[in-house]
Amino acid sequence: MKLFSVKIIALIATIGIWSTFNADSDFRLVHTCMLKDGKTMDDVRIANSKWVVFVNEHVDGGGITSHITTSIVGDTTQGKFGYVDSYPSLESWTAQVAALESIAEGIAIDRELREVADCAQNNLVKAEES
């Protein structure tokens, strides 16, 4: 009986730690990109919209969003922009990577994104509401 109690306490502690780690948070992938010659922000929007639809269809639970960012103050280099993709969990981020690498439609969408822009930098960060 003592072993059963220890297991229950360990399970409750694990759930508590997981809940604390994931409460009011999600994960964001922030890209810094530059348009390729001859491409437009409309090309970016079209390709990115396809990406959002695809990943939400192929990741259990969906909930993945993406924003295209352009600078208003600071570095306003012509053609420079960013993506901020939000994921409800690390598992959803991992699942979308797998889908883009293993499904023909995902591979084609990834290729299209790479044809419109060079995204030389990115960061995957945990975002917590404050």
Domains delineated in the chain: 24-128 (3.30.70.100)
Per-residue pLDDT of the chain (130 residues; tens, 9 = 90+): 555 444 445 444 444 444 444 445 799 999 999 999 999 999 999 999 999 999 999 999 999 999 999 999 999 999 999 999 999 999 999 999 999 999 999 999 999 999 999 999 999 999 998 8
Q: Could you give the 3-state DSSP secondary structure of residue 37?
A: coil
β-pair type (117-128, 25-35): antiparallel
Neighbours of 51 (CB within 10 A): 21
